[in-house]
């Protein structure tokens, strides 16, 4: 038997999709009432959709309210993110039956109520520190709208980001241009736009700013220990403390107003103590400011906040502030969190578009279809988003996304007893660097047409995705299905740009 012959045909989905395309909340009663009995009985997918745990749909059942619609943007729906992942799969099946090009394209589902919950969590744990969301992490239009409505500030790295935030009607005083090395034209533009707060870490930057934005409110970015982080930003930015006195002397000579100190412990910081060390260094920089004739009033503790360690980091930070800035009534403290707000808010669904045996595999390994060696994949799956798209986070952000099975052989039900097989997962482009998972355990029956999903896809993903090889950037379906969904929709509705 050749390796090609063992491939089964792709899954065809046989159900009426119309009832699922409605934006109304998905509840078992509304679904079964509008679905023909024969189809209900024969359709595994429908019963699987209905099997979404009741707590997921119950909260929205009696809700008659409209979805949020912002002109020019997709609607913000209701319902749990899992429901929308499944709806997307079924919609794709419907489009495929209509021979729609790219019917099975990959898609994100973003639950904006997660962003909202993170904001509440921030306020609870760090009430003294104002978050300035790092736009670079995910400049999604709804994420920005929601955070603008909630009153956060914004950390922008370029004119493009500044314009995007200002176009929402956010006052320029709520922005910090937190890129220590800026093009002169960008600095000039930010002066025109009224964005005054900006960071620097070198003398040339001071000369540029003195020339085109002499009224800027400057923040010296200091170098801190970033060795406990996934992305070490100190390789590129941050003035070592020994250089700070000379930098401040130059700023004074140029008649520039330095108002404070910033740092970044590195993105994806896995040791909260890095923040304590950084605050200690910031204290030293404040003292240098005094020696140079400045009276600093701003401390920017940067980004690097992680979802799982947030409370621990907040506690370390508060203790460090107590120790090194005990009298801080005239001190404004801001932060530049990115990943913290959005990482978990986005999931990605991707379709298995191809399957083959690894080049070096034996006939026996391929046809066995069971896991003989968990380290060496015996099957390669190709999905329709990869490292040139959403999974650029593997290359740029040192992430290791893990797939789970969204649909298997036409069903959303994946039996726990299904045998697993060491598999690799690849993106759709013709480049061999386009590997999403070099080895992972997936059901041995997974085949072309099935769907994989990935959680934690909100940070440093869609923002850096390219269209290499002509593959489009995956689109986002928005929902507010998590806790506080109703409040989130009200906040979005009441925000008038
Ligand atoms: C200047 C600056 N601020 C904030 C951030 C956001 O960091 P994180 O997403 O780790 O919170 C970054 C990320 O690169 C950054 O460069």
Helices (H), strands (E): how many in the chain? Answer: 18, 19
With contact defined as beta carbons under 8 Å apart, do 289 and 330 qualify? no
- Indicate which atom in ligand 1 lies nearest the CA of residue 340: 11
> Which residue has the least CA distance to atom 14 on ligand 1?
267
Query: What is the dihedral angle through the alpha carbons of 245, 248, 250, 253, rounded to the nearest 10 degrees?
Result: -120
Q: How would residue 302 be classed by pLDDT, with cut points 50, 70 and 90?
A: very high
Q: Of the residues 115, 134, 464, which should be mutated to test ligand 1's pocket, given the most ligand atoms within 8 Å of the CB?
A: 134
Query: In a mutational test of the pocket of ligand 1, which residue from 267, 308, 310, 463 has the highest number of ligand atoms less than 8 Å from its CB?
Result: 267
Phi and psi at residue 339, in whole multiples of 5°? -45, -40
3-state SS class at 232:
coil
d(CA 288, CA 438): 49
pLDDT at 482: 82
Q: What is the percent of the chain with per-residue pLDDT over 90, rounded to a whole number?
A: 78
Give the DSSP per-residue string, 122-156: HHHH-TTEEEEEEGGG---HHHHHHHHHHT-EEEE
Residue 310: how many CA atoms within 13 Å on its side-chain side? 19
* pLDDT band at residue 63 using 50, 70 and 90 as cut-offs: low
What one-character DSSP code corresponds to residue 472? P
Residue 321: predicted pLDDT: 98
Nearest atom of ligand 1 to the alpha carbon of 269: 10
Residue 368 banded pLDDT, cuts 50, 70, 90: low
Q: By CB neighbour count within 10 A (0-12 exposed, 13-18 middle, 19+ buried), where does 269 fall?
A: buried
- Give the confidence band of 7 by pLDDT, cuts at 50, 70, 90: very low
CATH 2.40.37.10 occupies which residues in the chain?
Answer: 18-111+343-486
pLDDT for residue 14: 38
Which ligand 1 atom sits closest to the C-alpha of 231? Answer: 14
Mean pLDDT is lowest, of 43-52, 181-190, 240-249, 419-428, for 43-52
Per-residue model confidence (pLDDT) at position 55:
43
Distance CA 22, CA 15 (A): 15
Residue 305 CA: nearest ligand 1 atom is 11
Q: What separation in Å is there between the alpha carbon of 396 and the centre of ligand 1?
A: 13
Q: How far, in Å, from the CA of 466 to the mean position of ligand 1?
A: 21
CA dist 357 → 6, 141, 366, 373, 419 (Å): 10, 41, 6, 15, 18
- The DSSP code sequence of 241-276 is GGGHHHHHHHHHHTT-EEEEEE----EEE--THHHH
pLDDT more than 70, % of the chain: 85
- What is the number of the ligand 1 atom nearest to the C-alpha of 157? 1
Q: Provide the pLDDT confidence category of residue 445 given band limits of 50, 70 and 90.
A: very high
Q: Tokens at residue 322, please?
A: 């107590």
Query: What is the distance between the alpha carbons of residues 288 and 330, in angstroms, rounded to a whole number?
Result: 18
Q: What residue's CA is closest to ligand 1, atom 7?
A: 303
Distance, in Å, from the CA atom of 140 to the CA atom of 346, rounded to the nearest integer, reads: 11
Q: What is the residue with the minimal CA distance to atom 1 of ligand 1?
A: 178
Q: Ligand 1 centroid to 239 CA: how many Å? A: 17
CB atoms within 10 A of CB 109: 27
**In 295-412, where do the E strands start and end?**
298-300, 332-335, 346-356, 379-383, 404-407
Query: Which residue from 129, 130, 137 has its CB within 8 A of the most atoms of ligand 1, so it is best to mutate?
Result: 137
Mean pLDDT over 54-72 rounds to 65
Q: Ligand 1: which residue has its CA nearest to atom 15?
A: 303
Rounded CA separation 145/228 (Å): 32
Mutation probe of ligand 1 site: the residue of 304, 345, 459 with most atoms within 8 A of C-beta: 304
Spell out which residues line ligand 1, taking CB within 6 angstroms.
134, 136-137, 155, 178, 233, 264, 267, 302-305, 336-340
The confidence band for 483, taking pLDDT boundaries of 50, 70 and 90, is: confident
Ligand 1 centroid–CA 18 distance in Å is 42
The predicted structure's pLDDT at residue 11: 43
- Among protein residues, the one whose CA lies closest to atom 13 of ligand 1: 267
Name the pLDDT band for 372 (thresholds 50, 70, 90). Answer: low
What is the CA 208 to chain-centroid distance, rounded? 33
- pLDDT grade for 97, boundaries at 50, 70 and 90: very high
Asked if 231 is an active-site residue, the reply is no
Taking the CA of residue 337 as reference, the ligand 1 atom at the shortest distance is 11
Nearest to 87 by CA among 54, 48, 125, 40: 48
**What's the whole-number mean pLDDT along residues 374-379?**
88
Rounded (5°) CA angle 333-337-339: 170
**Quick check: 61 and 49 in contact, CB under 8 A?**
no
Residues across the chain: 497
Ligand 1, residue 229: give the atom nearest the CA. Answer: 10
Residue 476: how many other CB atoms lie within 10 Å: 19
In a 3-state reduction of DSSP, which class is residue 119? helix
Mutate to test the pocket of ligand 1, among 131, 133, 136 (most ligand atoms within 8 A of CB): 136
Beta bridge partners of 107: 349, 475
81, 260, 383 from 221: Cα distances, Å: 39, 9, 41
Using the Cα atoms of residue 447, residue 453, residue 164 and residue 234 in order, give the sign of their dihedral: negative
pLDDT at 98 over 50: yes
- Tell me the per-residue pLDDT of 239-281, one tens digit each, with 9 for 90 and over: 999 999 999 999 999 999 999 999 999 988 889 999 999 999 9
Domain 118-342 -> CATH class: alpha beta
Q: Which residue matches tokens 């998905």?
A: 26
Query: What pLDDT, in 10s, does the model give residues 308-326?
Result: 999 999 999 999 999 999 9
Residue 347 CA, ligand 1 centroid: distance in Å? 21
Q: Which of 112, 114, 124, 90 is nearest to 14 (CA)?
A: 90
- Residue 51: the pLDDT is 52
HSE of 230, CA atoms in CB hemisphere, 13 A: 18
Residue 382 dihedral angles phi and psi, to the nearest 5°: -115, 125
3-state secondary structure of 159: helix
Residue 70 Cα to ligand 1 middle (Å): 28
* Among the four given CATH numbers 3.30.360.10, 2.40.37.10, 2.60.120.10, 3.40.50.300, the one describing domain 18-111+343-486: 2.40.37.10
Cα(133) to centroid(ligand 1), Å: 9
Higher-pLDDT residue of 215 and 41 is 215
What is the rounded average pLDDT for all residues in the chain? 88
Residue identified by tokens 């998590």 is 482
pLDDT in tens, 123-175: 999 999 999 999 999 999 999 999 999 999 999 999 999 999 999 999 999 99
What local confidence, expressed as pLDDT, does residue 228 receive? 86
- Measured torsion, CA atoms of residues 193, 195, 201, 206, in degrees rounded to the nearest 10: 60
Q: Strand, helix or coil at 390?
A: coil
For position 44, what pLDDT does the model report? 47
Closest residue to atom 5 of ligand 1, CA basis: 303
* Gap from CA of 286 to ligand 1 centroid (Å): 22
What pLDDT, on the 0 to 100 scale, is given for residue 484? Answer: 92
Mind listing the pLDDT tens digit for each residue in 356-366? 999 877 766 66
Q: CA 71, CA 199: separation in Å to the nearest integer? A: 35
Q: Give the Å distance between the CA of 294 and the centre of ligand 1.
A: 27
Residue 467 pLDDT: 94
**What are the φ and ψ backbone dihedral angles of 20, each rounded to 5 degrees?**
-90, -10
Q: Report which ligand 1 atom has the smallest distance to the Cα of 178.
A: 1
pLDDT-derived band at 370 (thresholds 50, 70, 90) equals low
Quote the ligand 1 centre to 250 CA distance (angstroms). Answer: 27
Structure tokens at 202: 């070198």
**CATH 3.20.20.10 location in the chain:** 118-342
Instruction: Reply yes or no on whether the pLDDT at 20 is more than 50.
Output: no
pLDDT of residue 268: 86
CB 348 within 8 A of CB 453: yes
Catalytic member of 26, 430, 437, 463: 430
Distance CA 222, CA 243 (A): 9
pLDDT at 305 over 90: yes
């Amino acid at each position: 038997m050749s390796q090609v012959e063992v491939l089964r045909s792709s899954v065809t989905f046989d159900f009426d999709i119309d009832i699922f395309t409605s934006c109304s909340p998905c509840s078992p009663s509304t679904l079964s009432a509008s679905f023909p009995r024969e189809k209900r009985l024969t359709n595994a997918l429908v019963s699987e959709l209905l099997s979404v745990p009741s707590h997921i749909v119950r909260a929205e059942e009696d809700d008659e309210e409209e979805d949020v619609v912002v002109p020019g943007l997709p609607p913000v729906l209701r319902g749990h993110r899992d429901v929308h992942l499944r709806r997307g799969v079924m919609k794709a099946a419907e489009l495929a039956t209509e021979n729609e090009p790219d019917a099975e394209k990959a898609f994100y589902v973003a639950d904006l109520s997660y962003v909202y919950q993170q904001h509440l969590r921030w306020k609870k744990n760090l009430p003294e520190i104002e978050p300035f969301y790092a736009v670079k992490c995910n400049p999604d239009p709804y994420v920005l709208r929601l955070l603008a409505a909630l009153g956060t500030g914004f950390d922008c790295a370029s004119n493009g980001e500044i314009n995007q935030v200002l176009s929402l009607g956010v006052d320029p005083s709520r922005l910090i241009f937190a890129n220590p090395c800026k093009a002169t034209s960008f600095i000039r533009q930010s002066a025109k736009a009224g964005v005054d707060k900006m960071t620097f870490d070198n003398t040339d930057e001071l000369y540029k700013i003195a020339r085109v934005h002499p009224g800027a409110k400057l923040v010296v970015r200091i170098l801190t220990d970033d060795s406990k982080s996934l992305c070490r930003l100190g390789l590129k930015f941050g003035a070592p403390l020994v250089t700070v006195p000379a930098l401040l002397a130059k700023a004074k000579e140029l008649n520039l107003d330095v108002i404070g100190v910033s740092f970044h412990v590195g993105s994806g910081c896995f040791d909260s103590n890095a923040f304590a060390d950084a605050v200690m260094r910031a204290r030293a920089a404040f003292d240098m400011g005094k020696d140079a004739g400045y009276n600093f009033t701003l401390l920017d503790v940067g980004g690097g906040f992680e979802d799982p360690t947030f409370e621990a980091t907040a506690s370390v930070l508060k203790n460090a502030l107590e120790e090194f800035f005990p009298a801080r009534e005239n001190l404004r403290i801001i932060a530049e969190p990115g990943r913290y707000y959005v990482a978990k808010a986005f999931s990605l669904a991707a379709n298995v578009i191809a399957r083959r045996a690894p080049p070096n595999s034996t006939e026996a390994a391929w046809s066995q279809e069971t896991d003989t060696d968990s380290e060496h994949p015996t099957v390669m799956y190709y999905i329709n988003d990869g490292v040139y798209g959403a999974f650029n986070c593997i290359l740029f952000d040192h992430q290791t996304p893990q797939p789970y099975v969204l649909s298997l052989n036409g069903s959303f039900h994946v039996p726990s007893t299904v045998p697993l097989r060491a598999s690799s997962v690849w993106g759709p482009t013709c480049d061999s660097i386009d590997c999403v998972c070099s080895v992972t355990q997936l059901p041995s029956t997974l085949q072309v047409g099935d769907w994989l999903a990935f959680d934690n896809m909100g940070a440093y993903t869609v923002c850096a995705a390219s269209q290499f090889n002509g593959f489009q950037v995956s689109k986002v379906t928005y929902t507010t299905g998590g806790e506080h969904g109703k409040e989130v929709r009200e906040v979005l509705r009441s925000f008038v740009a």
